[in-house]
Amino acid sequence: MPTIAPDVYLSMGLTEEEYEKICALLGRVPTETELGMFSVQWSEHCSYKCSKPVLSYFKKYKEAIEGEGLENAGVVDIGGGLGVVMKVESHNHPSAVEPYQGAATGVGGIIRDIFTMGARPVASLNSLRFGPIRDGEADHEIVRRNRYLFEHVVRGIGGYGNCVGVPTVAGEVAFHPRYSGNPLVNAMCVGIVKTDSVATAGASGVGNSVIYLGSSTGKDGIHGASFASEVLGEDSEAKRPNVQIGDPFAEKLLIEATLEALETGAVQSIQDMGAAGLTCSTTEMSSKGGVGMEIDLDLVPMREADMSSYELMLSESQERMLCVAHPGREQEVINVFRKWGLNAVVIGKVTDDGRVKVWRHGRLEVDAPSLAFTDECPVNRLPAEEPDHFRRATEFRLDALEVIEPRAALSRLLECPTLASKLWVYRQYDQSVQTQTALLPGQGDAAVLAPRGTQKGIALKIDGNARWVYLDPYVGGQLAVAEAARNVACVGARPRAVTDGLNYGSPKQPHVFWQFERSVRGIADACEAFDTPVVSGNVSFYNESDLGEVLPTPLIGMMGVLENAEDRIGMALSPGLEVWAVGYRVEPGTQQGLGASAYLAECHGIENGRPLAPDLVLERQLCELLVTGVENGLILCAHDVSEGGAAFALAEMAMAGGTGLSVDLGGLHAGLERDDAVLFGEFPGTVFVGLRPGSGKDLEALVPTGLRAVPIGESGHDSAVCLKIDGRSVLTCGTLELAAISEGAIPELMAHVLE
């Protein structure tokens, strides 16, 4: 009996224990192809072997894995027979070595996840993290590399998304030295589906034909999923061949053909070929359907004739799907795909023995129970350990920290790449194709879509503040959800559901696992409080390089619903409005709201202290108050206090509206001893709104106990932002001047990036 040398399975990312379990499951030594398939399906990317115990904090996830399975858990019913599906996926490692294709195929992959459910993809969002792009914040070569990555990731997202005709409606970009070796590229896609036409991935019907759809299979992207589940190192550049190449034109055809084929009713089940293409689609479709599947690789459309079964099963060539047709209806599916100029070839059939069998050149190369691939992966229980910096963050004191001159501090915040205007980025994305975008990037705290066929609007946001999570993962997790919820409420939408992108270093480092566990707990608790279930998500571990691990970066994709899309509001102040603060008081404590703040980081170079915890009950009431105020036509614009504090939020409202404002921030939070805390403290639960003069009484009438609405000033004022504290003028600056700083920052840094 042939044996397999340990260096073979170890090089595929399998442990000795896992290898032994595979042998036990098969009752023999696996073939090379089987081993490759196990290594992919048992990678963290596919199996969640390290994260599963923690993900069960998400109630809906727990219910789904114990009950009907995850796939249908992802549809959010918005009424009128329509459902919203959404998901985030990371493409961090591919983007680190080949930024354009890495980002592009990240977008393509998540779009396929959406239309494979029968939903038309209606919006893309993204969340990006890079190392510093300003000179002096890292070695010159690293800064240059970071700019290069930023430039080409943005191009890749645009290049793919623009071509497939899915608008990119929202996103965020942040920069920090901890991402220098390992940028984060998370793409989110949102689709709309008739709730009675959700497609399934569970194969059924013994004897039914299995049909290969879409682009031909080549030798690209082999072992991409395993690559995503290891730490980036010196040899990462050699992994470039592991990166898939995207073909957005093929994807556009695939979207139209798939949706058209599903409409015929001839498709029994369908799944996209994600990680390890044919491996995941055959094993997962049969495992979900409780059946077996037998395919002949000789029939697979190939780009090169000499491909082995190993290469065919492991290839991550893009823009491919696998479907099962109802008996006798294969030709209907094939005809639709042929019309769109795409491959559609019967390559096998559904069987009753629960086994995946794969033939190549007349030889049975794979013969294994489908469940072995999908359900038998050993779950790792990893140790967690609180890191020292968490204790230091708790003990941090402001003491004699200098109060920076407010105007200089505000300029510093406006020009730092994380907080500067992202116009340079989103102008490269088609934001309005499909003509449903009712609030564009930069106009409000969230994007709003007005989908056809309903009066309702959908508000979308993706957000995460890794500094908060780093310094207090539990509170940071809560804040991420609270802020995303507040953001959709600020445009007039009730928060409804969450998808998350969880990005961390190696979970085998106890302090990383602790960050993961604590932040997921925070997210889960906040999602319970808001009644916004986590309907889907993605875990990305091993975001490390020789420069260290990334900051713990959980991202929250939030979807909210407006009863009437026409009600949506943005953040732009127009002249002549009253400016009010609504929300709740927060006890500022010894760190005065400056713990973990952008002000400390950007103006003092200190990343320490802890973020203030949100009151989740009041946060939810605040969201409801905002939505009611918008629905009643009282609130005309709204923006929440977040990174950069009150001064930054007000400056953004003035810049968006091209007007000025004069407000007094004194007394908003009791017990503040420093002007910088009033101006730049990051207090949860505060939203600034613009009201028609005299309508404040009507707003006050809506305010429940525990919340408050306070008039703080008005807009207009000669296009200057004038901030006071208890009648004392502390900051005056022309709005255009502020906008020039904010909008000029990134273009200036990116002006000379070489191809």
Partner 1 sequence: MNVAIIRFPGSNCDQDALWALRGPVGVEAEYVWYESTSLQGFDAVFVPGGFSYGDYLRCGAVAARAPIMAEVGRFAAEGRPVIGVCNGFQVLCEAGLLPGALLLNEKQKFLCQDVWLRADSRRSVWTKDVDQLLRVPIAHGEGRFVCDADTLARLQDHDLVAFRYVDQEGRTTPEGNPNGSMDSIAGVVNDRGNVLGLMPHPERASNPLLGSVDGLVILRALAYVSA
Contact with partner 1 (CB under 8 A): which of 53, 69, 165, 716? 165
Please give the single-letter amino acid code of residue 60.
Answer: K
Q: How far apart are CA 438 and CA 376, in angstroms?
A: 46
Question: Could you tell me the smallest distance in angstroms from the CB atom of residue 569 to partner 1?
Answer: 13
Contact between 259 and partner 1 by CB under 8 A: the answer reads no
Contact with partner 1 (CB under 8 A): which of 31, 127, 162, 591? 162
**Binding range to partner 1, per CB under 8 A, among 103-111, 426-434, 493-501, 731-739:** 426-434
**Binding range to partner 1, per CB under 8 A, among 301-309, 315-323, 425-433, 659-667:** 425-433
Contact with partner 1 (CB under 8 A): which of 80, 290, 341, 633? 341
- Check residue 498 and report its DSSP letter: E
Site string for partner 1, 632-671 (x = CB under 8 A): ----------------------------------------
As given in the structure block, the two tokens for residue 320 are 């491919």
Contact between 338 and partner 1 by CB under 8 A: the answer reads no
**Binding range to partner 1, per CB under 8 A, among 19-27, 242-250, 278-286, 542-550:** 242-250
Contact between 394 and partner 1 by CB under 8 A: the answer reads no
Contact indicator for 415, 434 with CB cutoff of 8 Å: no
The residue (of 144 and 155) whose beta carbon lies closer to partner 1 is: 155
Q: Extract the runs of DSSP E, i.e. beta strands, from 244-362.
A: 267-272, 292-296, 320-325, 343-351, 355-360
**Binding range to partner 1, per CB under 8 A, among 1-9, 24-32, 247-255, 359-367:** 247-255
SS3 annotation, 441-483: CCCCCCEEECCCCCCCEEEEEEECCHHHHHHCHHHHHHHHHHH
Contact with partner 1 (CB under 8 A): which of 79, 238, 240, 249? 249
Contact between 719 and partner 1 by CB under 8 A: the answer reads no
Contact with partner 1 (CB under 8 A): which of 363, 391, 397, 427? 427
Q: How far apart are CA 471 and CA 395, in angstroms?
A: 11
As given in the structure block, the two tokens for residue 738 are 């502020």
Q: How far apart are CA 366 and CA 354, in angstroms?
A: 13
Contact with partner 1 (CB under 8 A): which of 216, 335, 394, 428? 428
Residue 644 CB partners (closer than 8 Å, separation 6+): 413, 419, 598, 599, 680, 682
Catalytic residue at 45? yes
Q: How far apart are CA 104 and CA 157, in angstroms?
A: 5
Contact between 438 and partner 1 by CB under 8 A: the answer reads yes
Q: How far apart are CA 642 and CA 76, in angstroms?
A: 28
Contact between 699 and partner 1 by CB under 8 A: the answer reads no
Question: Could you tell me the smallest distance in angstroms from the CB atom of residue 435 to partner 1?
Answer: 4
Half-sphere exposure of 34 (CA within 13 A, CB side): 25
One-character DSSP codes across 588-604: -TTTTT-TT-HHHHHHH
Site string for partner 1, 565-594 (x = CB under 8 A): xx----------------------------
Catalytic residue at 91? yes
Contact between 319 and partner 1 by CB under 8 A: the answer reads no
Contact with partner 1 (CB under 8 A): which of 36, 106, 121, 158? 158
CA 313-37-222 angle, to 5 degrees, is: 55
Q: How far apart are CA 575 and CA 51, in angstroms?
A: 50
The residue (of 303 and 427) whose beta carbon lies closer to partner 1 is: 427
Contact with partner 1 (CB under 8 A): which of 215, 217, 286, 431? 431
Contact between 450 and partner 1 by CB under 8 A: the answer reads yes
Contact with partner 1 (CB under 8 A): which of 253, 321, 398, 446? 253
Contact with partner 1 (CB under 8 A): which of 57, 227, 340, 390? 340
Contact between 453 and partner 1 by CB under 8 A: the answer reads no
**Binding range to partner 1, per CB under 8 A, among 23-31, 162-170, 300-308, 637-645:** 162-170
**Binding range to partner 1, per CB under 8 A, among 244-252, 364-372, 488-496, 573-581:** 244-252
Half-sphere exposure of 560 (CA within 13 A, CB side): 34
* Coil/strand/helix, residue 343: strand
Contact between 163 and partner 1 by CB under 8 A: the answer reads yes
The residue (of 28 and 120) whose beta carbon lies closer to partner 1 is: 120
**Which residue in 417, 416, 456, 461 sits closest to 441, CA to CA?**
461
Question: Could you tell me the smallest distance in angstroms from the CB atom of residue 97 to partner 1?
Answer: 23
Tell me the C-alpha to C-alpha distance, in Å, between residue 211 and each of 217, 353, 437, 480: 14, 19, 36, 42
The residue (of 702 and 753) whose beta carbon lies closer to partner 1 is: 753
The residue (of 174 and 257) whose beta carbon lies closer to partner 1 is: 257
Decide: residue 472, CB within 10 A, 0-12 exposed, 13-18 middle, 19+ buried: buried
The residue (of 165 and 301) whose beta carbon lies closer to partner 1 is: 165
Residues touching partner 1: how many (CB under 8 A)? 32
Contact between 33 and partner 1 by CB under 8 A: the answer reads no
Question: Could you tell me the smallest distance in angstroms from the CB atom of residue 157 to partner 1?
Answer: 11
Contact indicator for 716, 659 with CB cutoff of 8 Å: yes
Contact between 430 and partner 1 by CB under 8 A: the answer reads yes
Contact with partner 1 (CB under 8 A): which of 3, 435, 727, 752? 435
Q: How far apart are CA 426 and CA 192, in angstroms?
A: 23
Q: How far apart are CA 501 and CA 360, in angstroms?
A: 38
Residue 552 CB partners (closer than 8 Å, separation 6+): 466, 469, 470, 473, 476, 503, 504, 505, 512, 515, 516, 519
Contact between 447 and partner 1 by CB under 8 A: the answer reads no
Contact indicator for 324, 205 with CB cutoff of 8 Å: yes
Task: Return residues touching partner 1 (CB under 8 A).
Answer: 155, 158-159, 162-165, 247-250, 252-253, 340-341, 426-435, 437-438, 440, 450, 452, 565-566
Which residues are known to be catalytic? 45, 91
